[in-house]
Amino acid sequence: MHSKLSFSITHMGISDVDGLFNKFTASATSNKADFSDAVFELYVEVPSINTQVEMRDNHLRGADFFEVETYPTMTFKSATITKISKDKYKLTGNLTLRGITKPVTMDLWYRGTNVDAKTNKSTSGFQLTGIIKRSDFNIGAKFPVPILSDEVKIKADGEFISEG
């Protein structure tokens, strides 16, 4: 309810087009209170892409971009987490998109943990930011960089409720 997976790409070098994925699940597993050993997993239903323009969303779901009938899911599983400074990490893992798996490294900010007084469960917040290249995943190959930037900015905000 308090999580979001969004992206931004530059169109024709003059404006940014933003979007998000409406349907996804994510988990964080950790044995340490500072999450320095955390493993993050993400599962995204790619057809849930939403740029607030139905015609564009339908095009993005098609063969020119995500080809969702063949590749309906996107996944990420972290492999390493490296502490950079207090509450800041580099998160590296494998991203699978459009049937292609590549390693990616993102910035991860641990925003803190709160405990619900009623349930005694803790909720931890994270923000993930970084850049991936659409060419690495064969997305929009017909659209050269002057039309669509190769770099796609990623931003994910997540709240994770402890199960323990």
pLDDT tens track for 76-125: 999 999 999 999 999 999 999 999 999 999 999 999 999 988 888 999 99
Query: pTM to 2 decimals?
Result: 0.92
Q: Whole domain around residue 156: which residue ranges?
A: 4-161
Number of domains making up the chain: 1
CATH number for the domain harbouring residue 85: 2.40.128.110
* pLDDT tens-digit map of 33-66: 888 899 999 999 999 999 999 999 999 999 999 9
Residue 164: pLDDT band by 50, 70, 90 thresholds?
A: low
- Does residue 158 contact residue 21 with C-beta atoms inside 8 Å? no
Among residues of the chain, what percentage have pLDDT more than 90? Answer: 90
User: What are the pLDDT digits (tens) for 22-37?
Assistant: 999 999 999 988 888 9
What are 114-158's pLDDT values in tens digits? 998 888 899 999 999 999 999 999 999 999 999 999 999 999 999
Per-residue pLDDT, 5: 97
For residue 157, the model assigns a pLDDT of 96
Q: How many residues does the chain have?
A: 164
Give the other-Cβ count within 10 Å of 153's Cβ.
Answer: 16
Token digits of residue 128:
């993930």
pLDDT at position 11, please? 96
Residue 1's pLDDT band, with cuts at 50, 70 and 90, is confident
Closest CA to 58 of 19, 12, 111: 19
3-state DSSP of 52-98:
CCHHHHHHHHCCCCCCCCCCCEEEEEEEEEEEEECCEEEEEEEEEEC
